[in-house]
Structure 1
Amino acid sequence: MPFDLNIPDALTQYLNAQALNETRIRLESYAADLLQEASRLETTSSAGNGEPQITSSMIADADLLLRRGYRQGRPNYWLIAGKIISPIGALATGFFTDAEKLKQPLMLAAFIILLIVTVTATVLVVVKE
């Protein structure tokens, strides 16, 4: 069943055509997220007997969860990789700190590259969290 949303003209009178289109896209996206979250809530609360039924309280709870950001999104694989690389890189950098090994050009280059990768991964993890 189609669902139409009517917004009073007084609220949209200052929007140009692009802003109005963007508003429509964002509202449709939020509606899809809201219904998906309400469906998830219904699935967790139902016993599995009969047809699923989403109630008004589930819609209200889903709205609250979405607005407060409690819904977990997809895992960011780059962030997970950074969390793994950061401590391993720090440990490996510690093994290269021998002054005799750093006198060799190849070992020095490896140390610098490893240090750059470790620092970059650590900074990205801190910034993204």
Structure 2
Amino acid sequence: MASDDLDIQVAGSSSLVPDARQALEACVQRYGEDVLREAERIEASVHLGPGAPMVTSSMIQEADLVGRRGHIQPRVSKWKTSISVVPYIAAAMAGVFGENIGTPTGSIGFTASVLIGIFTFLAGRR
């Protein structure tokens, strides 16, 4: 089994200051992980048999084209997934409090639910 380390040389990178070189290495690593994940997705979509999956060079090239065009979907964190549910819950709570908007509890609950819904909606979009 081969290791996960790749020796990649980028022309002109030797003239970079150490911080810029580290940033370039991190960027190349992230892009490589994205391309590999996309190539594995492509392989899974065409894999038909019971045998082991095999990513080919053409799949890597296709994944690179997809990545260069900006179509690789970024990973969505669990935090972002979970926070995207909160606006719906807040909307339901606003409906419950809206039925009693004439009371102090209803108006405060309605206002709080609306504000929580708006802020979590905006936080989830980042």
Same fold (TM over 0.5): yes
Matched residue, 1:119 = 115
Q: Structure 2 matches for 1:22-41, cutoff 5 A?
A: 22-41=23-42
Distance 1:49 1:7, change over 3 A: same
* Distance (whole Å) between structure 2 residues aligned to residue 12 and residue 89 of structure 1: 58
Alpha-carbon contact 1:42-1:53 (below 8 Å) kept? yes
Q: 1:80 aligns with which of 77, 80, 85?
A: 85
Q: Matched residue of 1:54: which SS?
A: coil
Q: What runs of 5+ residues in structure 2 fail to find an aligned partner?
A: none
Q: Structure 2 matches for 1:5-16, cutoff 5 A?
A: 5-9=8-12, 13=15, 15-16=16-17
* Distance (whole Å) between structure 1 residues aligned to residue 120 and residue 63 of structure 2: 31
Q: What runs of 5+ residues in structure 1 fail to find an aligned partner?
A: none
Distance 1:30 1:70, change over 3 A: closer
Task: Select the structure of larger CA radius of gyration.
Answer: 1
Matched residue, 1:42 = 43
* Distance (whole Å) between structure 1 residues aligned to residue 74 and residue 8 of structure 2: 27
Tell me whether 45-54 or 27-36 shows the greater mean CA deviation.
45-54
CA deviation map 1:56-112 (0-9, x unaligned): 332233234444244263352111222x223213202311222xx33xxxx3xx632
The TM-score, its normalising length taken from structure 2, stands at: 0.72
Matched residue, 1:4 = 7
Alignment RMSD:
2.6
Q: Give me the identity figure in percent.
A: 22
Q: Matched residue of 2:84: which SS?
A: helix
Tell me whether 22-31 or 69-78 shows the greater mean CA deviation.
69-78
Distance 1:66 1:41, change over 3 A: same
The TM-score, its normalising length taken from structure 1, stands at: 0.70
* Distance (whole Å) between structure 1 residues aligned to residue 93 and residue 26 of structure 2: 43
Matched residue, 1:97 = 101
